[in-house]
């Protein structure tokens, strides 16, 4: 996928979602079908063109929703690391955070290191959960990584 940024993909998806919201708000099934078809036939295949891109894009979208400064991985699996790091390199991502609480988080961090990622420091990021009755997200610890 040439010259496509994560921000560009995000803006494209927002446009499709806005079209669908408008269609549903107006009860316009024809426009809703167009939005769904655009997602299925145009947008999703672009994510499928590159190994690791769909997962990376989901994390980018989560970053935007949560208001984090960097992409945060909280559910990465060891077998995904290589493809995800390669996708980050192709799309200009040079820093990310890792906030997994899984029992194998240390093993995943070792695999990240083997793929050219280096731990920098501990930081706080917005979790994917909001505080009960509040509008802000809970803060959780994360490891800041840079990609060499």
Pairing type for strands 117-130 and 95-98 reads unpaired
Strand order in the sheet with 95-98: 71-73, 95-98, 137-147, 117-130
The answer to whether the CB of 106 falls within 8 A of the CB of 131 is: no
Question: What count of residues does the chain have?
Answer: 148
pLDDT digits (tens, 9 = 90+) for 17-55: 999 999 999 999 999 999 999 999 999 999 999 999 999
Domain boundaries, the chain: 6-48, 68-147
The pLDDT value given to residue 23: 95
* Angle formed by the axes of helices 81-90 and 53-66, nearest 10°: 70
pLDDT digits (tens, 9 = 90+) for 63-111: 999 999 999 999 898 999 999 999 999 999 999 999 998 889 999 999 9
Tokens representing residue 55 in the block: 């997962």
Return the CATH class of domain 68-147: alpha beta
Per-position DSSP letters for 74-133, written without gaps between them:
SS--GGGHHHHHHHHHHTT--EEEE---STTHHHHHHHHHHTTEEEEEEEEEEEEEEPTT
Measure the CA–CA gap between 143 and 100, rounded to whole angstroms: 9
Please give the model's pTM, rounded to 2 decimal places. Answer: 0.88
The pLDDT value given to residue 7: 94
């Amino acid at each position: 996928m040439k010259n496509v940024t994560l921000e560009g993909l995000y803006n494209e998806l927002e446009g499709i979602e806005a079209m669908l919201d408008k269609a549903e708000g107006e009860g316009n099934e024809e426009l809703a079908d167009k939005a769904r078809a655009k997602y299925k036939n145009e947008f999703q295949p672009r994510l499928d063109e590159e190994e690791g891109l769909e997962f990376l894009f989901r994390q980018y979208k989560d970053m935007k929703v949560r208001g984090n400064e960097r992409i945060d991985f909280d559910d990465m699996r060891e077998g995904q690391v290589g493809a995800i790091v390669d996708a980050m390199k192709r799309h200009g991502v040079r820093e990310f955070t890792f906030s997994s609480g899984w029992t194998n988080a240390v093993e995943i961090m070792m695999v990240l290191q083997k793929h050219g990622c280096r731990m920098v420091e501990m930081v706080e990021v917005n979790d994917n959960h909001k505080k009960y009755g509040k509008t802000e997200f809970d803060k959780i610890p994360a490891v800041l990584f840079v990609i060499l």
